[in-house]
Amino acid sequence: MFTTRPEILGTFGVVTSTHWLATASGMAMLEKGGNAFDACAAAAFVLQVVEPHLVGPAGDMPAVFYSAETKKVEVLCAQGPAPAAATIKAYKDLGIDIIPGDGLLSTVIPGAFGGWMTMLRDHGRLPLREVLEPAISYFENGHPMLPRVSDTIAGLSDLFTREWPSSGAVYLPGGNVPKGRELFRNPAAAATYKRILAEAEAAGGDRQKQIQAAHDCWYKGFVAEAMDAFCRTETPMDSTGRRHKGLLTAQDMAGWTPHYEAPASVTYHDWEVFKIGPWGQGPVFLQTLKILEGFDLSAMGPASPEFIHHVAEAMKLAFADREAYYGDPDFVKVPLATLLSDDYARGRRALIANEASLDIRPGTIPGFEAQVAQALANIRIAGQHGATVGEPTLASMVASSRRGDTVHIDVIDRWGNMVAATPSGGWLQSSPVIPELGFPLNSRAQAFFLEEGLPSSLAPGKRPRTTLTPTIAFENGEPRLAFGTPGGDQQEQWQLGMFLRRVHHGLNLQEAIDLPLFHTQHFPSTFYPREARPGHLTVEESVGEAVLADLIRRGHELERAPAWTVGRLTAAEKSADGLLRAAATPRLMQAYAIGR
């Protein structure tokens, strides 16, 4: 079949990400003798520069990786938790029932930097200077601004001028909206990374010691001090329509470190798929696979109404369970073994009919009846509670730019290391820029509920239920795929369509990515104002009128999306013969794959 670009093939290494400059920077690390971990980190730091509306230095990051040295798949959790002062009572005392999607009250401990330093320290090869050099150069010397970033800034220009002047100082140089495709600089952010690097190198010792010094500079040094001072002294406007200080402190920063943990996984035919645990939405993908295992998807066309319907209905059931059961397992009991079991999937599969369901139907596991009932009672239906905003949460931003909140990177090197990472948060629209640092804090706390008794209820030190969900997959016991996508609640859904087409229809990565994509917003959104749209199904209209008509006949509340507007997938593969492959979506015209 025709594809918009070739599937990349090579033997030395492949890198794919949501921006060509990040992909090229990652490949440069492989050429210098670095491995997949060096390449992934370098690409991630560049993405903070070139896609600041989707990721920033103070964001968060989960990675799923396979180490050729340890022969294990692990999760690196760099999702920062809620500050010590972030209690439900603290928000209720401010008259807040839903955590705003912007401003300082929505900030958790920024975890991404610690995650990248941990990855480099434990698994990388190159000196920190070489990994940070591309990002510092683009911050300092300039990079071509994406038109989409320019549009986002234009939509926020009044807010930046009236309410968030520190953001205006960075993103409205000379008081003007920067033009797309022209050079843009952020010297303050460059200075922050240059100072971190200088202090790390001044610590002396080997590369591991210097990387640890950089970590400490962020969490125990001048970066933490600047964040603490900003949260204590500034009162920016947020989406509540009022001004609030932040709750994050230097003590919160100093007391946190990233960690490794075992992935969640299921078998699916000849495959084993690895995701992050129920502190994120990763198990939704796994649950959906187990539900679909009893259907003959290979007999359905990869863009047929039967395929889209069955996948969408299975996702509705899995996402309903996300609302009822998922949360930080360090704080709440999550019956994950049951949710991923064959018996449970069999019961859920029986609920799928030929017609679309308009009900949100979590399963009921003994002992969790009250929790399920409370989760259902807490659901907000779109249109019944005022205007929706969407992620990343500011109405002015949504009016000026497509929804989207994340970036993604996949790397496979010549030694067989595989990394899939999905950094996010710290968007330029999250909160005001901290002048001393050149970037804003994150807004991930909006994923918490302010009602007691839910698995995602707010608590100090608790991880918010993230949407970030990279994937590693094995075929017949061998490491095969690394893939992922931006897209908030749509991340699992777009990845699932690609993976199933690769598994059941024999498509290569680029073919599977290029086919029309789809997703549902049937369940409550993770992002403010957290509303559900029962029966909703978005499908790219390039599937054809006959398919769209069939889906409408089945009862789906169909939203037609223009061709090439849904999904931002990237993927990398190591074939059984050792050949490396990579692909990237043509949608938005900025993702790219490289390999040789």
pLDDT tens sequence across 313-355: 999 999 999 999 999 999 999 999 999 999 999 999 999 999 9
| The pLDDT of residue 399 | 33
Looking at the DSSP bridge assignments, the partners of residue 537 are 558
Report the distance separating Cα 564 and Cα 542, nearest Å: 8
The percentage of the chain sitting over the pLDDT mark of 90, rounded to a whole number, equals 95
Report the distance separating Cα 514 and Cα 584, nearest Å: 9
Pairing of strands 536-540, 264-268: unpaired
pLDDT tens sequence across 96-132: 999 999 999 999 999 999 999 999 999 999 999 999 9
Report the distance separating Cα 508 and Cα 208, nearest Å: 39
Token pair for residue 347?
């019961």
pLDDT at 402 over 70: no
Using an 8 Å Cβ cutoff, are 541 and 564 in contact?
A: no
Which value, to the nearest 10 degrees, does the dihedral of the CA atoms of residues 557, 560, 565, 571 take?
A: 50
| The pLDDT of residue 458 | 98
Using an 8 Å Cβ cutoff, are 41 and 419 in contact?
A: no
pLDDT at 450 over 90: yes
Residue owning tokens 């308009």: 358
Question: Which residues, 6+ apart, have CB-to-CB distance to 267 below 8 Å?
Answer: none
DSSP state letter for 404 = -
| The pLDDT of residue 439 | 98
Burial zone of 214 (CB within 10 Å; 0-12 exposed, 13-18 middle, 19+ buried)? buried
Token pair for residue 523?
């369940």
Report the distance separating Cα 468 and Cα 488, nearest Å: 7
pLDDT averaged over every residue in the chain: 95
Question: Which of 1, 26, 40, 147 has its CA nearest to residue 589?
Answer: 147
| The pLDDT of residue 212 | 98
| The pLDDT of residue 383 | 80
| The pLDDT of residue 384 | 72
DSSP state letter for 406 = B
Q: What is the DSSP code string of 186-204? A: -HHHHHHHHHHHHHHHHT-
Residue owning tokens 């539900």: 291
Q: What mean pLDDT do residues 278-305 have?
A: 98
Q: What mean pLDDT do residues 83-99 have?
A: 97
Token pair for residue 500?
């199933």
Q: What angle do CA 297, 274, 595 make, to 5 degrees?
A: 90
Report the distance separating Cα 422 and Cα 512, nearest Å: 20
Using an 8 Å Cβ cutoff, are 424 and 231 in contact?
A: no
| The pLDDT of residue 99 | 96
Report the distance separating Cα 360 and Cα 350, nearest Å: 15
Cβ atoms within 10 A of the Cβ of 418, count?
A: 26
> How far is residue 519 from each of residues 298, 301, 494, measured CA to CA in Å?
20, 17, 7
pLDDT at 164 over 80: yes
Helix axes 20-31, 128-141, angle to 10 degrees: 150
Looking at the DSSP bridge assignments, the partners of residue 421 are 63, 409
Question: Which of 215, 181, 187 has its CA nearest to residue 199?
Answer: 215
Question: Which residues, 6+ apart, have CB-to-CB distance to 567 below 8 Å?
Answer: 485, 487, 490, 494, 497, 513, 517, 585, 587
326 backbone dihedrals φ, ψ, rounded to 5°? -80, 140
Using an 8 Å Cβ cutoff, are 523 and 461 in contact?
A: no
Report the distance separating Cα 419 and Cα 61, nearest Å: 12
Map residue 27 onto helix, strand or coil: helix
269: left (phi over 0), alpha (psi -120 to 50) or beta: left
373 backbone dihedrals φ, ψ, rounded to 5°? -60, -40
| The pLDDT of residue 375 | 96
Entry pTM: 0.96
| The pLDDT of residue 528 | 87
DSSP state letter for 31 = H
Q: What mean pLDDT do residues 532-542 have?
A: 98
461: left (phi over 0), alpha (psi -120 to 50) or beta: left
Q: What mean pLDDT do residues 213-225 have?
A: 98
pLDDT tens sequence across 260-279: 999 999 999 999 999 999 99
Secondary structure of 346-383 in HEC code, one letter for each residue? HHHHCCCCCCCCCCCCCCCCCCCHHHHHHHHHCCEECC
- Name the residue type at position 359: D
Using an 8 Å Cβ cutoff, are 361 and 532 in contact?
A: no
Q: How confident is the model at residue 294 (pLDDT cuts 50, 70, 90)?
A: very high
More confident residue, 539 or 382: 539
